[in-house]
Amino acid sequence: MPGVLDGIRVLDYGRFIAAPWCSAILADMGAEVLRVEKREGGEDRWVQAVTESGEGGTFLQCNRNKRSLTLDSTTVEGTEITRRLVARADIVLANMPAAGMRANGLDYETLRAVKPDIILASATAYGEGGPYSDRIGFDGAGQVMSGAVYRQGLPDMPIRTVVPYADFGTALTLAIGVMMALYHRDRTGVGQHVEGALLPTALMLSNAFLIERELLQVDKPRMGNQGASVAPCDLYKTADEQWVLLQVAGQPMFKRWCRLVDRPELFTDPRFADDDSRWQHGDVLNGIMADWCADKTKAEVLGLLEKAKMPAAPLYSPQEVLDDPHIRAMGYLQRVPFPGASREVPIIETPFRMSATPGTIRRRAPLLGEHTDEVLGEIGYGAAEIDRLRAGGIV
């Protein structure tokens, strides 16, 4: 089945997550994505190693459906290779500071001189044009500077989220921007520069906290796993030493919960008149729920909550995620072989589904420089020239 982006060529100079996951989504949808990295490999290739050759788990996720070319793009000959690649590309993706973009010939003006309708998609930590624009930063910078970490964790200890949501969120917003730019180019013939950054992505996700602070002039305390604005809401321990999440919001749901825990009088208690009131007295409601769970197994708790149509879920270990029957039935994790991996790699599928043009994982992440000769041949280099480039440390 043809992909919706068949025929679109993408050069991926991205590292770690923001740009590579964006280009992975484009690749899932049919785009031809070429990952360009240093001869020794990009730093992100070797983080959290899980294979014999050292590739990391995030790398395997974010670089499926791509080919790999190694290149020193700062050399004269490397610059020429970059020029030829850009001349036949539709999109260039990168996440590096502006100075690095210029040094590698990846700034928008340089790219546009080669291909007038090129689309450049760049991801940075803080965005271009402000006092922090030259700073480098990873996902955690977006988290801690967005106000979110200030609100999460234990009362005496802020805790950032181990999942890099600012990175992956930036990848998704960048992918949306790229698709808008492609749509605009198809209508006008004009390319453009699409910018994404970790900080505004994190601000988007924590915006409600900022609105609350500005309008009410309050900062709610850190409350562990309890809800930020509703109650009962927490992780509750069951009799078999397991944990279950429950989140109650709105009057109908709260009324069902009162019946479930056999405390109907709570529904008319003025302390619990609405979500805000219930949050203010969350210790009372969470205590009742904790006691209700304490003499029941996880299976019993989840069964009763499901019967009462309450939004609950079990706390899973990574192995329990891999074994979950719904995740298996839905095919959310695709098993993909990789050289040197002890078993097939569970790679998340395209994070959305389309009925006519679905995304697919057609090939594993590439080995370092696996397609260098193939790609150079496609842009006009013969075998002898490729040997010379390799001997000279260009590729």
What are the residue numbers of the active site?
167
Residues 6+ apart with CB under 8 A from 115: 86, 87, 89, 191
Q: What is the dihedral of CA 265, 270, 274, 275, to 10 degrees?
A: -90
CB 11 within 8 A of CB 36: yes
- Using the 8-state DSSP alphabet, how is residue 381 labeled? -
Q: Is 210 helix (H, G, I), strand (E, B) or coil?
A: helix
Number of neighbouring beta carbons within 10 Å of residue 196: 25
Strand partners, 233: 247
Distance CA 256, CA 140 (A): 39
Residue 138: Cβ-neighbour burial (10 angstroms; 0-12, 13-18, 19+): middle
Residue 254, judged by CB atoms within 10 A of its CB (0-12, 13-18, 19+), counts as buried
> What is the phi-psi region of residue 266: left when phi exceeds 0, alpha when psi lies from -120 to 50, beta otherwise?
alpha
Bridge partners (DSSP) of residue 334 are: 347
* CB-based contact 63:24 (threshold 8 Å): yes
The residue with tokens 């509703």 is 230
| Amino acid occupying residue 63 | N
Q: β-strand 66-70 against 91-94: which pairing, if any?
A: unpaired
CB within 8 A of 123, min separation 6: which ones?
A: 14, 18, 19, 22, 93, 94, 95, 170, 171, 174, 195, 196, 197, 198
Residue with tokens 């000279």: 392
Ramachandran region of residue 334, left (φ > 0), alpha (ψ -120 to 50) or beta? beta
In 3-state terms the chain splits into helix, strand, coil percentages (rounded to 5) of 45, 15, 40
